[in-house]
Homo-oligomer: A and B are copies of this chain.
Amino acid sequence: MSEATPHSFFAELAELARGLGHAHRLLLLDHIAQNEHSVERLAEFAGLSLANASQHLQHLKRAGFVTTRRDGKRILYRLGDGPTAPLLAALKSQAAFNHTQLTTFIADSRSRPDRLEAIDAEELLRRMRENSVTLLDVRAETEYAVGHVPGAVNIPLPELERRLAELRKDQEVIAYCRGPHCALSAEAVRALSAKGYKARHFDSGLPGWQALGLATSSLQSSGSKAGL
């Protein structure tokens, strides 16, 4: 392990990422995230030998994901003070997204770039104030949990058809997802329209909403600029 010379900035980031790059470590980390545990308990939990568990734990520790303290003759591992939880959440979001990608036939929608009716921020804001629209967040649950437009209903696209009943048919539905490149909401509008709903999408998605300074949360906005 290159503790000595993490040459570039990216090498350093990569090292961190590799810290999460093993199922056993993630399992351990998850368990630790819920409670402080001794090495022995963790090894048993994960079904690993003591030495092996210890090594994985030290790996996590080096990366700053966990810290230790001594209690009597055992050493307890707990989550570090760093932003590990958000990092895990983000990782999980990405996984969730990949699932929706698979479950859905985005490729299809992507190949016919028909212009769907969009709503702009200004009109959306007005309509929300007068409560004349249903806002629909079609991203994965995990992404929704991480941050969403206040008042939005969350129905991940793959579940949309099954959960249509949750949407009022007497109001226009405005779907949104991750922004201009994200095809989920367009797909949702297509599906809803086919079912007789009046639907449009909010093209700039959550990031666009955040730009207005109104969102509840999320990292979405800050991308990479100078150095990632």
Residues of A bordering B, CB below 8 Å:
7-27, 29-30, 33-34, 63-65, 79, 81-95, 97-98, 101, 106, 142-143, 145-147, 178, 181-184, 210, 213, 215-224, 227-228
Which of B27, B81, B146 interacts with A182 by CB under 8 Å? B81
**Contact of B17 with A91 in the complex, beta carbons under 8 Å:** yes
Q: Are A20 and B17 in contact, with the CB atoms below 8 A?
A: yes
Q: Which residues from B are CB-within-8-Å of A26?
A: 10, 13-14, 17, 228
Query: Which residue of B is nearest A210, CB measured?
Result: B217
Beyond A83-B178, A86-B218, A217-B147, whether A30 also contacts B18 by CB under 8 A is no
Q: Which residue of B lies closest to A7 (CB)?
A: B23
Most B-side CB within 10 Å, residue of A17, A20, A215 = A17
- Lowest 4 CB-CB distances: which A-B pairs, in order? A86-B219, A17-B20, A18-B21, A82-B97
The residues of B that contact A106 with a CB separation of less than 8 Å are 81
Q: How far is the CA of A15 from the CA of B23 in the complex (A)?
A: 8
A221 to chain B, nearest CB (A): 7
In the complex with contacts A81-B182, A217-B218, A228-B30, A90-B87 CB distance below 8 A: yes
Whether B93 and A83, one on each chain, are in contact in the complex, defined by CB atoms closer than 8 angstroms, is yes
Contact present for A82 and B94 (CB under 8 Å): yes
Min CB distance, A228 to chain B, in Å? 4
Supply 16 A–B pairs (Cβ within 8 Å), ascending by A: A13-B20, A14-B20, A17-B91, A30-B227, A30-B228, A64-B98, A79-B181, A82-B93, A82-B94, A82-B98, A84-B94, A86-B220, A87-B93, A87-B94, A89-B219, A145-B222
B222 touches A85 (CB 8 A): yes
Say whether, besides A16-B91, A17-B18, A21-B18, A221 and B228 are in contact (CB < 8 Å). no
- Cβ distance A216 to chain B, nearest Cβ, rounded Å: 7
Complex-state Cα separation, A93 to B12, whole angstroms: 12
Q: Are A34 and B224 in contact (CB under 8 A)?
A: yes
